[in-house]
């Protein structure tokens, strides 16, 4: 039935999924929650494959309107200092106001009085969202996923803007990369302090899904987040990059489009890059492809010897092994950017905290339905609503999978998924 737009849906998880308890006392597990949250995937048959679904995202459909207020944060990380911004969804229609023309659509800065009055003792669930490469809170795929939650009147949400994106200013030479978890970590800590009674949840798209998964792996059971969703995560970046470079359309269309996006982003921050870094901006602005940009910017800025070393280190497949909160990951098998060959089937099958949901159709952040709707918003909202309102969050056992590291004590080996390497005693 795929030729009629009906995608096949599969789930990959541990043979013993994470046990959960609903608020009414009924026992369930993470796989059952995910299966009930994911509806049939009926897409537009005229947008018939992954390339068509992916390219249709450039059609610039309006999407559901959402309004935001922006707050500027000063980073508390000793090495990765500077500023970043977070866009908070406006949930009170009376608070919507005319957008600041210097920002992205429907976005304005908080006033000084509004900033001074931030904070609440309410217990409304709050969603922390991470956007895709060079994107922001204005992205259509993002708004399709969170608008139903905001419109329900039951949720609050904010979008952590990657440094330099969405018309934000940088105050150092640092932009961001797929391993840049420090800004989302600081945001979550601030939210937990400012809104102590709100249960926090995470949602990431594409590169933002990679950052979110890396954060969850780094934090393990210590994260304040209760559950999360990762959509169209590219997972093994080195594999996805090689797959793109291996085909004409991947190399000359996708790599070029992504490279142009990062080149345009860096050009907007030319003054800061020349002031705070030794990057040859003339050379940087002449590059065409994403891997060239990563070689010219990410490597010297962060200290990676090659872009391949960066891709291996920033990949989130291993991080998935260390996740210790319920995580639903959604990917399309025909995604030409987050290649099916990069999906962590083996890792998902060993971790009871994770369920990998794959659809046979959908492309990269496409999932276009007849009429222009986006299917991915349905499982995202269903899963988050079930976790927030139906599951007893206190019943989650964060140690159900034991230690996050593995190895063979007999031989003194230890594999830490966050270090990406097996530690072996070299007898030196």
Do residues 95 and 113 touch, judged by C-beta distance below 8 A? no
For residue 283, indicate whether it is catalytic. no
Contacts of 217 (CB under 8 A, 6+ apart): 316, 318, 319, 320, 321, 322, 323, 404, 417, 418
The answer to whether 206 is a known catalytic residue is yes
Annotated catalytic residue, options 335, 342, 376, 416: 335
Catalytically annotated residue among 14, 206, 266, 316: 206
Phi/psi-derived region of residue 362, left when phi > 0, alpha when psi is between -120 and 50, beta in every other case:
left
- Length reported for the chain: 428
The number of CA neighbours under 13 Å toward the Cβ of 62 is 5
Is 319 one of the catalytic residues? no
- Residue 16 CA to residue 399 CA, distance in Å, equals 14
Contact 170, 269 (CB under 8 A): yes
Measured torsion, CA atoms of residues 239, 406, 415, 204, in degrees rounded to the nearest 10: 40
Q: How far apart are CA 257 and CA 178, in angstroms?
A: 18
CB atoms within 10 A of CB 301: 17
Residue 129 burial by CB count (10 A; 0-12/13-18/19+): exposed, middle or buried?
buried
DSSP E strands, 136-198: 156-161
Q: Which of 241, 364, 376, 416 is catalytic?
A: 364
* Residue 4 near residue 45 (C-beta atoms within 8 A): yes
From the list 102, 74, 76, 108, the residue with the least C-alpha distance to 89 is: 108
Residues facing residue 239 across a β-bridge: none
Max Cα-Cα span within the chain: 68
Catalytic (active-site) positions: 206, 335, 364
């Amino acid at each position: 039935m795929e030729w009629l737009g009906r995608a096949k849906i599969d789930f990959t998880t541990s043979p013993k999924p994470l046990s959960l308890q609903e608020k009414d006392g009924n026992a369930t597990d993470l796989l059952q929650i995910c299966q009930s949250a994911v509806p049939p995937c009926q897409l537009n048959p005229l947008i018939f494959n992954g390339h068509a679904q992916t390219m249709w995202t450039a059609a610039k459909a309006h999407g559901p309107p959402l309004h935001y207020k922006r707050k500027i944060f000063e980073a508390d990380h000793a090495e990765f200092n500077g500023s970043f911004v977070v866009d908070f969804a406006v949930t009170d229609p009376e608070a919507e106001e005319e957008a600041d023309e210097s920002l992205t659509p429907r976005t304005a800065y908080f006033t000084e009085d509004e900033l001074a009055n931030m904070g609440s003792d309410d217990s409304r669930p709050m969603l922390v969202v991470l956007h895709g490469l060079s994107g922001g809170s204005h992205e259509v795929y993002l708004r399709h996923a969170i608008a139903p939650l905001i419109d329900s009147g039951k949720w609050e949400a904010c979008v952590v803007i990657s440094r330099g994106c969405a018309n934000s200013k940088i105050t150092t030479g640092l932009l961001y990369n797929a391993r840049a978890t420090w800004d989302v970590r600081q945001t979550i800590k601030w939210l937990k302090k400012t809104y102590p009674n709100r249960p926090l949840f995470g949602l990431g798209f594409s590169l933002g899904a990679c950052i979110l998964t890396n954060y969850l792996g780094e934090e393990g059971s210590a994260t304040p987040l209760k559950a999360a969703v990762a959509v169209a995560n590219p997972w093994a970046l080195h594999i996805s990059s090689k797959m793109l470079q291996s085909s004409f359309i991947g190399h000359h269309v996708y790599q070029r489009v992504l490279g142009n996006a990062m080149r345009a982003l860096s050009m907007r921050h030319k003054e800061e890059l020349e002031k705070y870094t030794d990057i040859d901006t003339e050379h940087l602005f002449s590059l065409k492809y994403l891997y060239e940009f990563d070689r010219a910017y990410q490597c010297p800025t962060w200290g990676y010897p090659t872009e391949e070393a960066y891709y291996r280190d920033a990949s989130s497949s291993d991080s998935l092994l260390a996740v210790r909160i319920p995580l639903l990951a959604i990917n399309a098998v025909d995604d030409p950017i987050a290649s099916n060959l990069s999906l962590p089937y083996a890792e998902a099958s060993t971790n009871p905290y994770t369920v990998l949901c794959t659809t046979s159709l959908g492309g990269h952040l496409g999932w276009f339905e007849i009429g222009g709707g986006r299917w991915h918003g349905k499982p995202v909202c269903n899963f988050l609503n079930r976790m927030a309102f139906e599951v007893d969050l206190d019943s989650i056992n964060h140690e159900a999978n034991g230690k996050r590291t593995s190895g063979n004590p007999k031989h003194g080996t230890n594999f830490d998924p966050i270090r990406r390497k097996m530690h072996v005693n070299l007898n030196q």
